[in-house]
Amino acid sequence: MLESKRFYLLYITILLILFNSCKNASANRNQVTPGHENISAGLLQPESFKHIILTWQGDPRITQAVTWRTDIRISQALAEIAPSDPSPDFVNSARQFTAQSTMLNTDRGERYYHTVNFTDLRADTLYAYRVGSGNVWSEWFQFRTASDEQKEFSFIYLGDAQHDVYSMWSRTIRAAILEAPKARFIIHTGDMVDRRNSDHQWSEWFEAGGWILAMVPSIPVAGNHEYKKRGLREPILSNYWKNQFALPELGRKDLDETVYHIDFQGVRIVALNSNLEIEDQAKWLKKILSKNKSNWTIIAFHHPIYSSAKGRVNNKLIEHWKPVFEKFKVDLVIQGHDHAYARGRGSCSGQSGCPGPVYVTSVSGPGMYRLDGRDWMDRAAENTQLFQIISISGNTLRFQSITATGQVYDAFELIKKEQTRLINKMPSNTPEIRFIQ
């Protein structure tokens, strides 16, 4: 009997030792270095801090906007930012911003969208930021502000994603960032999704882009699939657009955050809305191009001036926008919509000294159309997912169109002198890609 009691006491003692050992180990794991908050506290939920994306509302030298969304439990949110440093102690100098938050009733329930516009930043400086609420925070992301100088840089151009976005478009945007890991921004030329108010499709777009969208700023252009037509009245923009993208306002409710311009290190990027008010935008475009001091001018919109797909002619754009491009010597016009690749300079393509912009249409998603064989194209492709890397260095613009599998399909250079000269650099051993007949 005595032996049984001794065994029982020994058993209890061992259990207490093991319990205290586990408790101390758990406490040690939860300790953090002074000044470093435990960002795992609060158990991050699946819907916490989704769809994080960088855009611009103002000057990219001194501002940076970030937008993200949460579930309905997080109605107030914060963002923190600090100059980045190899030491983790950079967190000690972080500034905190309170987000502007808006509730959106989506087709999968209510969600909150949060936006912070970081201001008073230093030019050409690497920053780290995170978003959160209370004791629950995202990871730290990094971005670099634009320089005051006309320094060399590259950016990515992506045509329509639209279909099977998570499954098929993901490989294109990921291949693009691997090809140009130091790209400063991404221009999306519309039709990012197929159904403008589908929460599922927008979630696929953000999942496909992932951390890339949180570290490389986006310049989005509205396509026709971001709109709903309603008879003879003006089309209706996606409910998501102004909630998930923080963009410059024009002072007109119908065009706000879809028509804007951004100056970046000697390049003026102009986003136009080819869905409505074409004539009014032509007047606005004349004003901003007449005061343009940038060395290069690039225009981005959705419906192309010169179509690459059968049965598509955009007469209003040709009538109202094309003369403005030519008058103010726009260098490059990048577009989407036609789900094929085409590049040319209009009716004089292929001729030396051809004036006017280079026009490009491209597609990054899996939806494909047939080419119509018009003679304005210097290079074209069907049935091919592509991304474009555009690099600017002084008076030289280098353009590469690369397949989702990494082959350079088209390339050219623009050399800016008294008259801009185009030099074809397309691979001589790569035949034009067409659908198998």
CATH 3.60.21.10 holds for 153-424 = yes
**Three-state DSSP state, 5:** helix
Domain residue limits, the chain: 50-144, 153-424
pLDDT of residue 23: 43
| Cα angle: 53, vertex 400, 172; to 5 degrees | 45
Tokens in use for 168? 């098929």
How far is residue 132's CA from residue 50's CA, in Å, rounded to a whole number? 11
Phi-psi region of 259 (alpha: psi -120 to 50; beta: other; left: phi over 0): beta
The gap between the terminal CA atoms of the chain, to the nearest Å, is 93
- CATH pick for 50-144 out of 3.30.420.10, 2.60.40.380, 3.40.50.720, 1.10.3720.10: 2.60.40.380
Is the distance from CB of 79 to CB of 97 less than 8 angstroms? yes
Tokens in use for 412? 């050219």
DSSP 302-351: SS-SS--BTT---HHHHHHTHHHHHHTT--EEEE-SSSSEEEE-GGGTTS
- Residues in the chain, overall count: 437
pLDDT of residue 71: 84
What sections of 216-300 are H helices per DSSP?
Answer: 241-244, 278-290
* Nearest residue to 246 via CA among 54, 74, 98, 77: 54
Is the distance from CB of 92 to CB of 41 less than 8 angstroms? no
Query: Which residues of the chain, if any, have pLDDT below 50?
Result: 1-2, 17-19, 21-42, 44, 46
How far is residue 363's CA from residue 254's CA, in Å, rounded to a whole number? 27
Phi-psi region of 15 (alpha: psi -120 to 50; beta: other; left: phi over 0): alpha
How far is residue 164's CA from residue 168's CA, in Å, rounded to a whole number? 6
Q: How many helices (H) and strands (E) does the chain have?
A: 8, 25
pLDDT of residue 5: 52
What sections of 221-277 are H helices per DSSP?
Answer: 241-244
pLDDT per residue as tens digits for the range 249-303: 999 999 999 999 999 999 999 999 999 999 999 999 999 999 999 999 999 999 9
Tokens in use for 351? 């001729």
> Matching CATH topology for 50-144 and 153-424?
no
**Three-state DSSP state, 354:** coil
**CB neighbour list of residue 391: distance below 8 Å, 6 or more residues apart:** 152, 153, 154, 397, 398
pTM: 0.89
